[in-house]
Amino acid sequence: MDFKKIKTETTAITRQKDQFYAGTGNIYETVAILAKRANQIAVEMKQEINKKIEEYATSNDSNSEETFINKEQIEVAKFYERLPKPTLIAIDEFLHDKIYYRNPNKKSEGDF
């Protein structure tokens, strides 16, 4: 996922609860879907930030290099801190029908 292209709020806002019933018909099912998607996003973000920070990690003991490396690592960390939180991204995806979900316990309209 390209986190630079995400266009959603970076802070929590008040939402209409009716929007969350539309897809599932059950607010608790919606919350479960959002929680699972937020966890997926958080794991993906963590893997990406760890990968980027490892690029700057070296085993040199030079003080001038260490300061430069730390500044780059700090910039990477600041970028990820400014991104919307995984929960807000998941909510935005849900409200814009970008999440595929299904409940195996529910029969679809074509099932008998």
Domain residue extents for the chain: 15-95
Best mean pLDDT range from 15-29, 36-50, 62-76: 36-50
Q: Is the pLDDT of residue 45 over 70?
A: yes
Q: Residue 5 gets which letter from DSSP? A: G
The per-residue pLDDT for 7 is 81
Q: Characterise 97 by phi-psi region: left (phi > 0), alpha (psi -120 to 50), beta (else).
A: left
Q: Mean pLDDT, to the nearest integer, of 7-17?
A: 84
DSSP 10: S
Q: Quote the pLDDT of residue 112.
A: 44
